[in-house]
Amino acid sequence: MGAGNLPPITQEEALHILGFQPPFEEIRFGPFTGNTTLMRWFRQINDHFHVKGCSYVLYKPHGKNKTAGETAAGALVKLTQGLKDESMAYIYHCQNHYFCPIGFEATPVKACKAYRGHLLQQEVEYWILIGEPSRKHPTIHCKKWVDIVTDLNTQNPEYLDIRHLERGLQYRKTKKVGGNLHCIIAFQRLNWQRFDPWNFPFGNIRRDMQPQAQGIAKSESEDNITKKQHGHLGRSFSAGFHQESMWKKMYNLHGRRNSGYQSYTDYEGNDRN
């Protein structure tokens, strides 16, 4: 997340961890990379370095895995709070591209309020600073939140390219009507190292595990990938495997607690005295 004690890794190192082999420039990521693919890769890299993290869709008004009930105003509050939190990071999926919101500015609508204290959300105009990995664009974009909301709320075949607002609303050459892949994805660093058996909510395990299972479902852009291709690309284990492993760990921990054995098993399954 950029704020821990581990050294940063290069793109090439990350690709090796994910199971890809060079030459990387010849890999066409577009056909098989979707929103849930990014979240699965995040989990794989976390597992590799034995750190804890979670990811989820922060705001997606339309299409598969949409954030039902979330409003633009609510998403803005969560995004601006998260951008001030060193344990949070974001990816914004726009037209055929992924890049990273890294900051924001709240500009008063009325000049006379420019140097006043706290202002209400409707009294300011929000701009989102977005880091750009492409060498064909400026390093940082500054886009109005209202334009980002317009992008996320368009539905096929209509779309808005946030990097080229001068082109206005455009139309894709597709037969599909409705839905939108564009969204904002949140990635969070977690600090828990172990669960004490007397504090762990055993009755809520299945409910807590459900979002994780949904989070690694196939994305719309992955539906046509064969199992053989998934294996070649270094995909991680299925949700069922992780759920089964978690249940085994919890069962083992609960059994030792009931037997009076004076130790505990941490989240990684290691015995500690």
The pLDDT tens digits for 243-264 are 445 544 544 544 444 444 333 3
Is the pLDDT score of 239 beyond 80? no
pLDDT for 207 equals 38
pLDDT for 74 equals 96
Strands (E), the chain: 52-59, 88-94, 97-108, 124-131, 140-144, 158-160, 169-171, 183-190, 264-265, 271-272
Average pLDDT over every residue of 209-233: 40
Please, which pLDDT band fits residue 120 given cuts at 50, 70 and 90?
confident
Residues 6 or more apart whose Cβ sits within 8 Å of residue 256: 197, 263, 264, 265
pTM: 0.69
pLDDT for 191 equals 81
pLDDT for 262 equals 37
Residues 6 or more apart whose Cβ sits within 8 Å of residue 262: 273
Average pLDDT over every residue of 174-181: 88
pLDDT for 1 equals 67
pLDDT in tens, 143-167: 999 999 999 999 999 999 999 999 9
Is the pLDDT score of 174 beyond 90? no
pLDDT in tens, 55-109: 999 999 999 899 999 999 999 999 999 999 999 999 999 999 999 999 999 999 9
pLDDT for 31 equals 81
- 88/193: higher pLDDT: 88
pLDDT for 206 equals 38
Residues 6 or more apart whose Cβ sits within 8 Å of residue 213: 239, 243
pLDDT for 200 equals 42
